[in-house]
A and B are shown apart, each in its own frame.
Chain A
Amino acid sequence: MEYGIFQLIILSIFINNFVLARFLGLCPYMGVSKQLDSAVGMGLAVTFVMTLASLVTWLLYNFFLAPTYQSIFYVVFHTPIDKVPDLTFLRTIVFILVIAALVQFIEMYIQKVSPTLYKALGIYLPLITTNCAILGVAVLNIDMFFKDGLPLHNSFIHTLVQAFASGVGFTLVLILMAGIREKLELANVPKPFRGLPIAFIVAGLMSIAFLGFAGMNVE
């Protein structure tokens, strides 16, 4: 079965929403969704890192880690095909280091270009490294678009589309949550539930709403 581009976009934003369906990206979701403008900033930053990280990790996996005919060892160093090393077990280490490096560079860039944005995002900027959504989408791309180490048809495009769309879905849900929580500040919530507990319950209700998409036929 092949995914169409449009299908993949709808899947990633709504049906397989990263936060409400896949449970990825929850820490910033709970922490940053209290105000609308920080929610938007965080959402955009995460979407950008997700797409960029997916691109780099795909390239590394395809040309370096997987022992196939596209591996650098075969193409450039001419190692015989059965001696090309299978480095797929280094996937986790390589991916997380790439993500950490990317976030570091982005931090330095934002600090130079827009010190106000840098201050606004604060501690949450370096924390993007530990956002499960980033490593999650990188690993998901490999699990879904590779078989036996070889990329499936249109694997690269699918990877980029899925990464970007998933980020959009994450941002969407973050903005919705921020809007609700701003209103919730003024509501009469019972004391034990104020703050995190009511946020989870609201997320649960949003999740029920998004569950409605699960029956959608996108073919």
Chain B
Amino acid sequence: MGNIFRLSFILAIVTLIAAWVLAEIYNITRPQIELQKQAKTRKALQIVLPEAKVVKPIVRKVPVKDSKGNTLYERSEVVYYIGYADADSTQISGYAFMAYGSGYSSIIEIMVGIDPTGKIKKIKIISQKETPGLGARCVEDPPFDGKHWSTEQFVGKTVDDLKVDKDGGKIISITGATITSRAITNAIKNKLQTLLPELGITADASHKIGG
């Protein structure tokens, strides 16, 4: 019995040394990882709101509840971004928001840009860990040919258009990666459905203008 203790002790020492070395390296790489994340968000905002001169995040304190429904604490979260066409922030050119879809093997993070009528201007997939060669191809954005998935196919769609072909809709899914395609489409639709009323945009607006 004492032998097991001694062996576990030695193993614990080795593990602690390893953990210490890793913690040091983590301290070095963590700021870089944070920078990558922020750069990613900034680049995504530039892509989905290209004409905006100023982008303002709307931050709100979202309560985080435990299983009993008691509020544990409040977390600051960006609910959406407003894009202004001019430097004086008087003319709104569009809005942007993050949508999160539960994909095949990861949470897919999507940045969506919409115009003031609620029509999608552009989407950019920020992060995903789907299957290489299949769901991972969701990030591809070639010009939409009508037959193959491209993030470009979301351009100009309204919230009612957001359904994959396998569910009877117009969004062409990735061959062999229906789950990924559906997760992305539904994530954007659900976020839009909650956000549009808050922005004061009604469903009619996107159908009236432009069409």
Contacts and interface: CB of A to CB of B under 8 A. Distances in A.
B7 to A, nearest CB: 11
B102 A144 contact: yes
Interface string A71-99: 00000000001000000011001000100
A143 B107 contact: yes
Contacts of A193: none
Contacts of A89: 22-23, 26
Specify the main secondary structure of chain A where it touches its partner.
helix
- Chain B interface bracket (under 10, 10 to 19, 20 to 34, 35 or more): 20 to 34
A211 B73 CA distance: 45
Contacts of A215: 166, 178
Interface in A11-26: 11, 15-16, 21-22
B32 interface: no
Interface string B173-184: 000111100110
Interface in A149-195: 150
A147 interface: yes
B101 A217 contact: no
A1 interface: yes
9 pairs of A and B residues whose beta carbons are closest in the complex:
A1-B102, A89-B26, A143-B106, A69-B72, A1-B186, A214-B176, A215-B178, A147-B107, A143-B129
15 contacts: A1-B183, A2-B102, A3-B102, A16-B104, A21-B131, A22-B105, A81-B73, A89-B23, A90-B19, A214-B176, A214-B179, A217-B166, A217-B167, A219-B167, A219-B182
Interface of B: 15, 18-19, 22-23, 26, 64, 72-73, 100-102, 104-107, 129, 131, 166-167, 176-179, 182-183, 186-187, 190
